[in-house]
Chain A
């Protein structure tokens, strides 16, 4: 069966510090991968998605970046965090191509980031 992991689960960082959040998927190949942010009490904002290694699509211009160094690894980074980067970061995956009739997404447990 497939599983998705995110770490760390929680993170407190000072303004201006770097960030690296990691997401890995097990039990599938060539998944589509997604990073979302959820600010407190608000909906989901899609940040990045990837349909393959090295292929990143950015949905919202900002001081965050994403990379996909391996097929089942998706990393969210920042060189200098802002206060507004605080939130709940969710990684998700979806089978690519015709592997899933319904094309639903499966979400990880999330990382809660607080920037002070």
Chain B
């Protein structure tokens, strides 16, 4: 079945550091892939998405590229800010529902 595996957290970085959160998936075919972000005490918000191989999703300085060869969708940002502190979820689209990874908690220190 479909599954998503994310990098274990928590991840703690200093402001302006480079960020990578790894995400790999197992799926039949080529599902759409998503990154969601959850700020403290809130629901999830879509951060970015990609629908086919080699697509790059981007938003708020974050990027992720749909890599079919490595079945990956790693999240990257060149220079993180304190306001990026949140939990990040990788997900893929299944038949009727999204399949989520376990989430990675990111803390950015000033």
- A: which residues have CB within 8 A of B? 32, 34, 41-44, 46, 49, 51, 57, 90, 92, 94, 101-110, 112
Contacts and interface: CB of A to CB of B under 8 A. Distances in A.
Main secondary structure of the interface of A (DSSP, over half): strand
Contacts of A101: 51
A102 B106 CA distance: 26
Interface of B: 32, 34, 36, 41-46, 49, 51, 89, 93, 96-98, 100-103, 105
B101 A103 contact: no
Contacts of B103: 42-44
Given A102-B49, A107-B45, A49 B89 contact: no
A51 B105 CA distance: 31
A108 B96 contact: no
Contacts of A104: 32, 34, 46, 49, 93, 98
Contacts of A34: 97
Contacts of B41: 110, 112
Contacts, number: 52
B101 A43 contact: yes
Contacts of B100: 43-44, 46
A44 B100 CA distance: 7
A108 B49 CA distance: 19
B98 A32 contact: no
The 3 closest A-B pairs by CB, nearest first: A43-B102, A107-B43, A107-B44
Nearest to A112: B41
Contact of A90 (B32, B43, B96, B101): B43
Nearest to B44: A107
B42 A49 contact: no
Contacts of A103: 32, 93
B89 A44 contact: yes
A51 B32 CA distance: 20
